[in-house]
Amino acid sequence: SAGRLFASFLIVGGLGTAIYTFTRLGQALLEGELLGVLGRRRMNREVHKLTSHHIICGFGRIGAPVAEGLEEEGQAFCILDNDLQSEPDLRARGYLYLIGDALDESVLASAQIDKAKVLMALLPSDADNLLLTIIAKELNPNLMVIARASDEKIEPRLKRGGADKVVSPYKLTSGRVLQAAVKPTVLEFLELVSHREHLPLRLEEITVLDTSALEGLTINESEIRNRFGVVIIAIKQPDGAMVFNPEPDQKILAGYILVVIGKSEDLKRLEADCCTS
């Protein structure tokens, strides 16, 4: 009798423990899934508010550093990626993102492509980047598309498909390796001005508006070097022509883009002067 009583308690206790364990596991799974659904809805609402933003398609070895750079620059952006495994990393970084296929027009519409300023096609496949470029230009003809190309042969096709800029990671890498070998000081300088953490010096592009106090003045008359402590390296004209190392009598006109180098605070003062009268 004592053995039967002990076995009964053991069976009841074991069954109760099993039921409790499975209940807690189910509850945890349900809560996690519910939190995921609610989190994605909130993310969709935040993405829906974006305007004049950047869309990064592909959060890989290139997309991740690009997102970091945009965040440092204070630029609005969202990321499109179809890999669910990247979601925890995206969430931990605090980025706005959508999990889905960037080649799906509905996903691009959810990313507010009609209001976006730049789309970066950084998918692993050149064929996918070409198709994405065509779709993006159809949805927003005014969108600037920057496409990644692994194969040199695909570059002209991407441009014919509507890509404004085509970037080849392998070309860039080989160029930096060559500079490191034959012109290490030049490479060191470029690295210093392209990374904020190294030096206060930065390369910046500033657009001259028609309301600017500098509009119509020559470089010499504007006294940009003396007033702001920055150096004009080049001027891009509205027709796309680039004037390198412009002469002192070069006029600064509305629509010109000044490529300048200087300290962050000096660049901000120059930008304010180019945008206001």
3-state helix/strand/coil string of 130-194: HHHHHHHHHHCCCCEEEEECCCHHHHHHHHHCCCCEEECHHHHHHHHHHHHHHCHHHHHHHHHHH
CA–CA separation, 219 and 21 (whole Å): 76
In one-letter notation, the amino acid at residue 138 is E
Pair 55, 75: CB distance under 8 Å: no
- Please choose, from the candidates 63, 73, 77, 158, the residue with its C-alpha nearest in 3D space to the C-alpha of residue 112: 77
Dihedral, CA of residue 212, residue 213, residue 215 and residue 221, to nearest 10: -150
CA–CA separation, 225 and 212 (whole Å): 17
The set of long-range contacts for 229-236, using a CB threshold of 8 Å and a minimum separation of 24, is: 229/262, 229/263, 229/266, 230/260, 230/261, 230/262, 230/263, 230/266, 230/267, 230/270, 231/260, 231/261, 231/262, 232/258, 232/259, 232/260, 233/203, 233/259, 233/260, 233/261, 234/259, 235/259, 236/205
Q: How far is CA 148 from CA 42, 125, 154, 226, 232, in A?
A: 30, 9, 10, 40, 30
* pTM score, whole prediction: 0.70
Give residues with Cβ within 8 angstroms of 275, minimum separation 6: 207, 209, 211, 212
pLDDT confidence of residue 25:
66
Residue 77's CB: how many other CB atoms inside 10 A? 23
- Please choose, from the candidates 152, 182, 153, the residue with its C-alpha nearest in 3D space to the C-alpha of residue 169: 152
- Please choose, from the candidates 120, 122, 128, the residue with its C-alpha nearest in 3D space to the C-alpha of residue 146: 120
Give SS3 for 236: strand
Three-class secondary structure assignment of 129-146? HHHHHHHHHHHCCCCEEE
CA–CA separation, 219 and 70 (whole Å): 31
Mean pLDDT, consecutive 10-residue stretches, the chain (277 aa), reads 73 76 66 56 85 93 90 91 88 90 93 95 93 95 93 89 89 75 75 60 84 87 88 90 90 90 85 71
pLDDT confidence of residue 72:
84
CA–CA separation, 79 and 58 (whole Å): 7
pLDDT confidence of residue 125:
92
pLDDT confidence of residue 195:
61
